[in-house]
Structure 1
Amino acid sequence: MPRVANHDARHGQITDAVQRLIVRHGLTAVTVARTAAEAGMSVGLVQHYFTTKDEMLLATFTRVNGRFTARVDELVNRGEADGRAIAEMLRQALVELIPLDDDRRAEFLVRLAFADQAAHNARLAAVQRETLAGIRSRVAQAIGNGTVCGEVAEPVDAAAQALRIVAFTEGLALHTHIDPDGTPTSAILAALDDQLSRVFSGTCRRAQLS
């Protein structure tokens, strides 16, 4: 167990260093040597875990997605316990993809760097497609649940609507990153609410009975 814990700690230390380099200087600043210096360890130790820049970026991207998923799971669990509407929980989950604070901005920059690198790397592109498909699948599941409970008032193609919602959210994230002063949080949330209301136009039958 101690060895596993130490491995995980070293792994996290390196990927956190990669993220900090991306945030401060961009992807071009990420090298094994610079990552080692940022992480406060030897080049040899970094190379023990990762031999290439792509491997470090993939691990960092995976770590960012893991944090996002954990936050979403926590939001859903808390929302279900509080009896919140599905649309409200979905909105809270999608907002986690938008760089509205320093932590989410750092994660967004990692995703942006990964997308740039994936455009020229088939392995990374496959991981990116799988990740995006997973997000769309979770949104489609929320739409399906909304159909069952009545929040989605009309029959819809859940996969098609999930594609629109996720693409819209990614667009908001990009605009927020490029022009933060021109995209205040209130406007971002209002735009997302408007998009979700096009699908979640009903009221859950549980709420009607309460």
Structure 2
Amino acid sequence: MPRIGMEPLRRKALVDAALRTIGSHGSLDVTMSEIAREAGVSAALAHHYFGSKQQLVIATIRSLLARLRADLVTALQETNSARKRLSAVIRVSFHADQFDTETVAAWLAFYVEAQRSEEVRRLLIIYTRRLRSNLKHALTQLCPPDDATRIAEGVAAMIDGLYIRQSLNASPLGNDAPIRLTEDYLDMQLKPFLKDTETP
């Protein structure tokens, strides 16, 4: 009989293994058996907990989004400055847990899957809306609403584009480089609106 409390641990192990396996393959062309092997459990147990690979993929995306949201909530609680809140959003977006090679590859695989899976597409839309909402909320305290919307879209596009660039692995970026690039773009866009007192 299974030990009490093992199910959550095994579920987490399978989710983590799915992320590593999908990331290392760079696609969802993996089997439950491969993921289960990576997690150190049987394929039968993986099917028992998740039913199908699709449900395990959904759980993996939910786990990534939950981690991202938790990190962002913590980062935003540390400051009341609108400009520093923008920096927090950027910093969390390129956190080491999210921007390592395997996780970036997994994110790209999930975006490809979103073209045929409505559930995956819905989860990724939630992520993009939250990102833009967090950016726009802080930006509206620094510039007019139309400019806030425009700049939020630009910053979000920078983040997405740097993930795609990282996935190519031609000249991998560290965690600091994408933060600096995005901050430089943001500073340039905010320059007409910011006074000397509002610095990141």
TM-score range, shorter-chain basis?
0.7 to 0.9
- Structure 1 unmatched runs, 5+: none
Task: Report deviation, 1:181.
Answer: 2.8
Task: Report deviation, 1:117.
Answer: 0.8
Q: Does 1:164 align with 2:154?
A: yes
TM-score (norm 1): 0.77
The equivalences for 1:60-139 within 5 A come to 60-78=60-78, 80=79, 85-98=81-94, 101=96, 104-105=99-100, 106-139=102-135
Corresponding residue of 1:44: 44
Give 2:158's aligned amino acid: F
Give 2:62's aligned amino acid: T
Task: Report deviation, 1:185.
Answer: 5.7
Residues in 1 aligned to 2:48 and 2:77: alpha-carbon distance in whole angstroms: 38
Residues in 2 aligned to 1:186 and 1:41: alpha-carbon distance in whole angstroms: 37
Whether the 8 Å CA contact 1:97–1:108 is kept in 2: the answer is: no
Corresponding residue of 1:194: 184
Deviations, residues 63-91 of structure 1 (Å, cap 9, x unaligned): 1111111112222222x2xx6x4323322
Q: Does 1:175 align with 2:170?
A: no
Q: Which has the higher helix share?
A: 1
Q: Alignment partner of 2:51: what SS?
A: coil
Whether the 8 Å CA contact 1:91–1:193 is kept in 2: the answer is: yes
Whether the 8 Å CA contact 1:58–1:114 is kept in 2: the answer is: no
Aligned residues: 193
Q: Alignment partner of 2:88: what SS?
A: helix
The percentage of counterpart residues that share the same residue type is: 22
State the structure with bigger RCO (CA 8 A, min sep 6), 1 or 2.
2
Residues in 2 aligned to 1:89 and 1:136: alpha-carbon distance in whole angstroms: 13
TM-score (norm 2): 0.80
Task: Report deviation, 1:179.
Answer: 4.6
Whether the 8 Å CA contact 1:87–1:196 is kept in 2: the answer is: no
Corresponding residue of 1:54: 54
Residues in 1 aligned to 2:175 and 2:21: alpha-carbon distance in whole angstroms: 26
| More displaced stretch, 101-110 vs 26-35 | 101-110
Residues in 2 aligned to 1:124 and 1:194: alpha-carbon distance in whole angstroms: 32
Give 2:194's aligned amino acid: G
Whether the 8 Å CA contact 1:169–1:192 is kept in 2: the answer is: yes
Whether the 8 Å CA contact 2:108–2:164 is kept in 1: the answer is: no
Give 1:134's aligned amino acid: R
- Structure 2 unmatched runs, 5+: none
Match of 1:155 among 111, 135, 144: 144
